[in-house]
Structure 1
């Protein structure tokens, strides 16, 4: 019992049930190929030059071996703990993990037994998570196998994997593949098992293509070397590399490199064209490719901002971020989700719009285009667009992809560009259409606003406040200006004053 002031506080240690928690971790949402990729991350983080993966139908197991750094017994036990690293710690640029959960949750999503053998300085150690044991005993027990069993495992496929000849390294064996194999229908499961191997090979070739290309990383699946699949088709001379954009602040460093792929007529044959389309086809592979420490997280997405159109099939954009930005990008345990921070949304969409414009030109040109053409050519007359604001009311907004405006913004430094954007926001909110009552500017709506929408609006307001304060405007004038903007009319006056005063967001 502890005391705090005059209060007496009772504390009870609440240890979750091993059986129930580990059963829940099996349903995080991995696919077979994303689970394998998450395990490979650990091998790359351990400085592996060679990774050998073996899918063994006869033994109903998966084996992943690498020649990375290896671990001592103490290091292995720590690595096997659930949540073995602090997600708030600054990560090494080569570290592809974050939560200390990936190897375990990925393995559990495939099977019920995870055995890890590691070799360091010629010494072997091992550790096992056995979910059958845990279901029976409900204990947080990591098991250790005896040397006889380990020796038998090390001799398995040794002529193919050559683990014993490596100075150091780690083997992961996943058994009791109940999530992959229906043991009551083995014939049907066998076909699916081999189809899964094909999917994994294609997935690995894409997710880790930069490590294969840039670091000469060798990844083998059942003895076959995986070749990199580069989504930007850089070996084709007709691929256009557009202007790179870089965003940097105290929380984010993001590099955006857009590409426009060649027209179908610029590929040597139909097979080459189809392979360039990707494992899910041309339509599904257009969009952004988000890399974290060079590892591909998300691909073929417009972040819900653009509809996928055939004319955009040639637009692919490489977006590089570092692990220090994980929380700003809402990276999940599976490393299969990423959401751009609101501060770079506008830049991301500007690049997307320019790239899709250029894609449409090439797509519709049947390959007759000039690579040096100005990609920002567009419809100068398209000045205004009408769309819904946060309240679900229609407002008139300036067309931010107008080529003349884009050209001006590209010539300004960040501070001047932000001033111009703030002015344009005033133009939108105080346009004659708004002042004439098309939107009720005085209606402080009680409508429930989605928290994410409100958060993003507050970020935008803070940006405007920062600019206006820098230009020596007083708080009262800033409040009056923003308070009468139709776009933010749902915010209460008290909320707005807190934001202007630098108070906490709600």
Structure 2
């Protein structure tokens, strides 16, 4: 006689494991991703077959996030959740095998993001969604739900007309906050921290017209751009390849960006417009250094601050992407990413070589930190910058990166019997002396001041 052995998971254990490795900000980011997915689905329903994932615009999409020490809410106008999807799929833990949402190019992959976010943020959840066909509400009390054998949720209100307060969209309200959520939402610095994180993750979406507000403060897209100017021989490295087996379209842009901070240089990697890695400067994207056994480029440092590399993974199904479940990094051993990374390294070598030559030009001209830019730097500064959304065209024509030739420093003839003098002075004092002497080069300033002293104090 067979004796049944219980194998049903504990809800408490399930909730703990589901939320252990994500932050509250990750949870909020997942809810934003759901709204973005809904917007994509709505656009796809209206624009198919003209729908183009790369050139997608979000001018009419708005997401509003509000929180305080007792409540969190997120609301969008992205068309709402169809009742059939809510009943059969949206609230399942894990995506059923038979589920196809026709949401071409979504971000959500595993069917756990929304529920995981609920449990991470609070213990009482209300989901209201309104479509052209009607309105429904689901209320979840996590404390009661977790002690019940039933894993399903119940629709507590339904009607066939849409809700004026919700509009055609979805609103999620969470109360009875978890200790971590309450502590963060009570912290006056958290608003700015969350704003920065959601801005970074949605840079591309924001630049393509999406509106996101947190506590009535609009998020602003950082200008992500890359330079190109045929008049000085500067061309962006472009490459596109469709990996048929994986069903993923990959585009790479590589070149020179605007002069800014050391922190801005590196690779930026997107999956269906969601930024996964920003200004990535480690061996994950090929900045391996000489000591690394994996074939790659140099270790990242200040001379590469102008480097800009953008990688776009686009696919109808996000399960094919080489990312982790929290969408915070890539799996460096994923077969698809290993193929793409090899091409990234090949493309970055030309840019790195140019930047090495640019450094040699500057060093050869004895141009210190506060000195005027070199000849090639002046050319680069005047070159036109193109924003990423301007480059979102249907097809990329492959081009190799090229840049103006740097000047080779002319080594001055050295006297047979001479010494080199080197010293450091405050910038303000240097600028005052150089202005008086009408020269900018530090070497010339040093030589003129030495000759002045020699002529007036040594030679009688």
With normalisation by structure 2, the TM-score equals 0.61
Deviation of the 1:234 alpha carbon: 6.9
State which of 267, 289, 293 in structure 1 corresponds to 2:268. 289
**1:260–1:316 contact (8 Å) kept in structure 2:** yes
Rounded to whole Å, the distance in 2 between the matches of 1:33 and 1:359 is: 37
Aligned to 1:170: 170
Conserved in 1, the CA contact under 8 Å of 2:226 and 2:256? no
> Residues 129 and 247 (structure 1 numbering): CA distance in 2 closer, same or farther, change over 3 Å?
same
> Is 1:33 paired with 2:25?
yes
Deviation of 1:311 (Å):
1.4
Counterpart in 2 of 1:62? Answer: 72
In structure 1, the residue corresponding to 2:108 is in which secondary structure?
Answer: coil
Structure 2 residue corresponding to 1:50, chosen from 61, 73, 79? 61
Report the more deviating stretch, 311-320 or 346-355: 346-355
Q: Provide the residue aligned with 1:249 in structure 2.
A: 243
Task: Tell me the alpha carbon deviations over residues 446-471 of structure 1, each in whole angstroms, 9 at most, x when there is no partner.
Answer: xxxxxxxxxxxxxxxxxxxxxxxxxx
- Note the 1:205-216 alignment, pairs <5 A: 205-214=199-208, 216=209
Per-residue displacement from partner, 1:152-211 (whole Å, max 9, x unpaired)? xx9xxxxxxxx83564110012223225346xxx6xx5653x322212222222322222
1:115 to partner: Cα distance: 2.2
Aligned runs of 1:73-152 on 2, under 5 Å? 73-77=83-87, 78-86=89-97, 92-121=103-132, 123-137=134-148, 139-145=150-156
The corresponding residue for 1:318 is 310
In 1, Cα distance between the equivalents of 2:179 and 2:228?
Answer: 39
Once the 2 structures are TM-superposed, how far is the Cα of residue 25 of structure 1 from its aligned partner? 0.7
Residue 256 of structure 1 deviates from its aligned partner by 0.4
Equivalent residues of 1:85, 1:98 under 8 A apart:
no
CA separation in 2, counterparts of 1:322 and 1:177? 36
Q: Map of 1:270-419 to 2, 5 A cutoff?
A: 273=260, 277=261, 282-283=262-263, 285-301=264-280, 302-304=282-284, 305-306=286-287, 307-323=299-315, 326=318, 329-338=321-330, 339=332, 341-361=337-357, 365=362, 366=373, 368-369=375-376, 370-371=379-380, 374-375=402-403
Check whether the contact 1:51–1:219 (CA below 8 A) recurs between aligned residues.
Answer: yes
Instruction: Note the C-alpha offset of 1:129.
Output: 3.6
Matches of 1:355 and 1:131, distance apart in 2: 53
Does the 8 Å CA contact 2:235/2:403 hold for their aligned counterparts? Answer: no
Distance 1:87 1:225, change over 3 A: farther
| CA positional deviation for 1:295 | 1.7
Q: Deviations over 1:212-240 (max 9, x none)?
A: 222x22112112222211333679999x7
Local SS of the residue matching 2:240: strand
CA distance, structure 2, for counterparts of residue 219 and residue 108 of structure 1: 23
- State how many pairs are aligned: 330
Structure 1 residues 243 and 97, CA gap change in structure 2 (3 angstroms): same
SS in 2 for 1:117: strand
Cα displacement string for residues 119-167 of structure 1 (whole angstroms, at most 9, x for unaligned residues): 12363212234321234435424244469xxxxxx9xxxxxxxx83564
Equivalent residues in 2 for 1:448-459, closer than 5 Å: none
CA contact (8 A) 1:241 1:257 kept: no
Q: In 2, are the aligned partners of 1:68 and 1:170 still within 8 Å (CA)?
A: yes
1:117: Cα distance to partner?
0.7
Displacement of 1:108 in angstroms is 2.2
Q: SS in structure 2 opposite 1:180? A: helix
- The CA distance in 2 between the partners of 1:358 and 1:66, in whole Å, is 46
> Residue 108 and residue 314 in structure 1: after superposition, are their counterparts in 2 closer, same or farther (change >3 A)?
farther
Question: Which residue of the partner structure matches residue 214 of structure 2?
Answer: 221
**CA displacement at 1:303 relative to structure 2:** 4.2
**Match among 179, 191, 194 for residue 197 of structure 1:** 191
Matched residue SS, 2:30: helix
Change (3 A) 1:190 1:225: closer
1:16 equivalent among 9, 15, 20: 9
Aligned match of 2:52: none
Distance 1:71 1:91, change over 3 A: closer
Task: Tell me the residue number matched to 1:479.
Answer: none
Point out the more displaced range, 250-259 or 229-238.
Answer: 229-238
| Unmatched runs of 5 consecutive residues or more in structure 2 | 43-59, 288-298, 363-372, 384-400, 407-460
Supply the RMSD in Å over aligned alpha carbons.
3.8
